[in-house]
Structure 1
Amino acid sequence: MPQVVDHVAVARLYGEPLFAMPSDLYIPPDALEVFLEAFEGPLDLLLYLIRKQNFNILDIPMAGVTRQYLVYVDEIRNHNLELAAEYLLMAAMLIEIKSRMLLPPKPVPEGEEPEDPRAELVRRLLEYEQMKLAGARLNAMPHFGRDFLRAQVYIEQSLQPRFPEVHVVELQEAWRDILKRAKLVQHHRITREELSVREYMSKVLRALQGRRFVEFEELFEPEKGSTVLVVTFIALLELAKETLIEITQAEAFAPIYVRLAYTPA
């Protein structure tokens, strides 16, 4: 490190002061490239050329504007061919408009004005300028996080919490809701009644004992419920299956009779 105290270091390299540029320092040619104007597309460049020279956008001098436009396109072609492709498309459109203006206008019916080759380009430029100005106005507005931050203040309060008052009507409504839920949640126990088919078979045989015929309906006891009726009917079927009783009917829709099966002495 040179013994220089009065000189100011031009840079710092790995934390150490550097008082002179290295003789073998290599800087690539593209590293110091400077762009004086940045455009967002062909319309932006074209609008810049028109407004910079105070041209009337409704009466564009195509020769001068096209010449200046092509100069800029030649510059960017040397550095970025992909970017230049979009600008070349607009250049072709300018040249086409310029050539159409050199040709004699097409005949039109009397009372109508001939079509201006620049009309479509002027329409696109005016629409683009409106969008650009609207974007600039939006960008000029204060943006949260860029131009200002939201102030946040935290105040600790050790006050006793104050709860809202409850009216009597609200308590009544809450009580009614509790009663409704209580009615929906009720418990009941279901017990199974033990009935024996064999027991009812014996009861039927005792009812038929000593009688020639008994009507079918007399053997049932409706007052004891449907369960007893079902068991009694099953008992009759079992007795008929075992040929212990006979079920007879004189004719269709006639009364049905039940009797003990005949057994020879």
Structure 2
Amino acid sequence: MSTPNISAADLPLIGTVDSTPDVVDGLAFAKLYGEPLFKLPNDLYIPPDALEIFLEAFEGPLDLLLYLIRKQNFNILDIPMAQVTQQYLQYVDQIRLHNLELAAEYLLMAAMLIEIKSRMLVPSSKSQDSDEADDPRAALVRRLLEYEQMKLAAYDLNTIPQLGRDFLHAQVFIEQNTILHWPEVRVADLQQAWADVLGRAKLVAHHKISREELSVREHMSSILRRLQSSKFVEFADLFDPTRGAPVLVVNFVALLELAKETLIEITQAEAYAPIYVRLAYAPV
């Protein structure tokens, strides 16, 4: 049986042989920059604490303490401090090995439990209002009951269905048919549409100012003709309010000019009495 002749050039270099199969059961366990990865690289460093499994996760010291009490059916109003403190410290010792920053908050509660236990060992003083001694656990029990109440309320809120988590808005596509259904138009709709048209018309309306030439001399002549037919004319009767403010102003100026030229006399019998206008008497 003959063997084929293989030269050194036909062999790959030592250390560059890639034993990675192209496909492992048709699946890759990861992707790196979009490329499938079928085995871990030789130079990949994984820290010892990169992957951890937490069997029990607590949200804080009170959560852990409440868990230990409820798990063993202890009376929360009469907590056996020795057993609870011992179990609490065992858990704290475990988390100190992995996360010292996280353990700092739990160590504060551990110091509080040890303080309560030490206060229970020494004789306690009685309060002035009652003959019963103060319980060192009272403040801790109150905090635990308040925390448990808030935790149960949070559970109740979490059971309420939430959009995007428990249900989604239904979206239905209805194909339009060939029959057109025109909407019904009410009288109130027409009134509103007409009011909108009038409103837009007022916005684009132009204000026109007309110029009216008024002559003071013409008004002076008109006043003199009016006074020739009457001996006395009341001051207000010489003005026509319907002709507008410009005409009234010019008429008043004409009246003043006549009085200045002593062609008319303006008289009044007494204070607050009516004012009368008459032609001035020419000297004989």
Distance 1:5 1:83, change over 3 A: closer
CA distance in 2, matches of 1:4, 1:207: 125
CA distance in 1, matches of 2:250, 2:283: 25
Partner of 1:18: 38
Partner of 1:160: 180
Partner of 1:225: 240
Q: Deviations over 1:48-77 (max 9, x none)?
A: 122233322222111121122123223333
Secondary structure (helix, strand or coil) at the match of 2:117 reads: helix
| CA apart distance, 1:229 | 8.5
Secondary structure (helix, strand or coil) at the match of 1:30 reads: coil
CA distance in 2, matches of 1:208, 1:22: 123
Secondary structure (helix, strand or coil) at the match of 1:45 reads: helix
TM-score, with normalisation over the residues of structure 1? 0.65
CA distance in 2, matches of 1:32, 1:55: 34
CA distance in 2, matches of 1:6, 1:233: 112
CA distance in 2, matches of 1:105, 1:232: 108
Is the 8 Å Cα contact of residues 92 and 106 (structure 2) preserved in structure 1? yes
Distance 1:22 1:203, change over 3 A: closer
CA distance in 1, matches of 2:23, 2:238: 126
Q: Deviations over 1:166-186 (max 9, x none)?
A: 6xxx68x978xx89x99xx9x
Distance 1:258 1:60, change over 3 A: same
| CA apart distance, 1:94 | 0.9
Is the 8 Å Cα contact of residues 222 and 229 (structure 1) preserved in structure 2? no
> Residue 198 in 1 paired to residue 213 in 2?
no
| Identical-pair percentage | 58
Is the 8 Å Cα contact of residues 205 and 260 (structure 1) preserved in structure 2? no
Aligned partner of 2:72: which letter? Q
CA distance in 1, matches of 2:54, 2:254: 110
> Residue 131 in 1 paired to residue 147 in 2?
no
Aligned partner of 2:174: which letter? I
TM-score, with normalisation over the residues of structure 2? 0.61
Secondary structure (helix, strand or coil) at the match of 1:134 reads: helix
Partner of 2:113: 94
* Gap runs ≥5 in structure 1: none
> Paired residues, what number?
244
| CA apart distance, 1:17 | 5.3
Out of 36, 46, 52, which is 2:65 matched to? 46
104-113 or 42-51, larger mean C-alpha shift: 104-113
CA RMSD of aligned residues (A): 4.9
CA distance in 2, matches of 1:131, 1:108: 31
Q: Deviations over 1:67-102 (max 9, x none)?
A: 221232233334434333322221222112101110
Out of 128, 131, 135, which is 1:116 matched to? 135
| CA apart distance, 1:221 | 11
| CA apart distance, 1:42 | 0.6
Out of 60, 67, 70, which is 2:89 matched to? 70
